[in-house]
Structure 1
């Protein structure tokens, strides 16, 4: 607890993803007051033509706190 799953278009370097993972972990630790050892972050690259599947399968019908233009 907690696990963050980030879906994004392909093309970011491993360094960029690692930096983002570190920043997300730091933020979650600060906000939730948990041990960094229990925070995990994963990335899944989704091609642009498949992004609608993410919206349909994971976003539609969910409580959204920050909405984005897709």
Structure 2
């Protein structure tokens, strides 16, 4: 608790993703008051031409608080 799953276009380095994951973990710790060891972060790269179909399927049923406008 909690797990953050990030979907993004391919092309970012492992270092960039690790830095972003670290920042997300710190934000969650600060905002939710939990310990860092209970926060997990994953990444899934989705090609731009498949983005809409994949995202629509993968986030179906989730509560969306900020929606992208493509």
Q: SS where residue 18 of structure 2 aligns? A: helix
Equivalent in the alignment of 1:4:
4
Q: How many residues align?
A: 70
Equivalent in the alignment of 1:66:
66
User: Which shifted more, 23-32 or 57-66?
Assistant: 57-66
TM-score when scaled to structure 1? 0.88
Equivalent in the alignment of 1:40:
40
TM-score when scaled to structure 2? 0.88
User: Which shifted more, 4-13 or 51-60?
Assistant: 51-60
CA shift for structure 1 position 64:
1.8
Equivalent in the alignment of 2:49:
49
Gaps of 5+ in 1: none
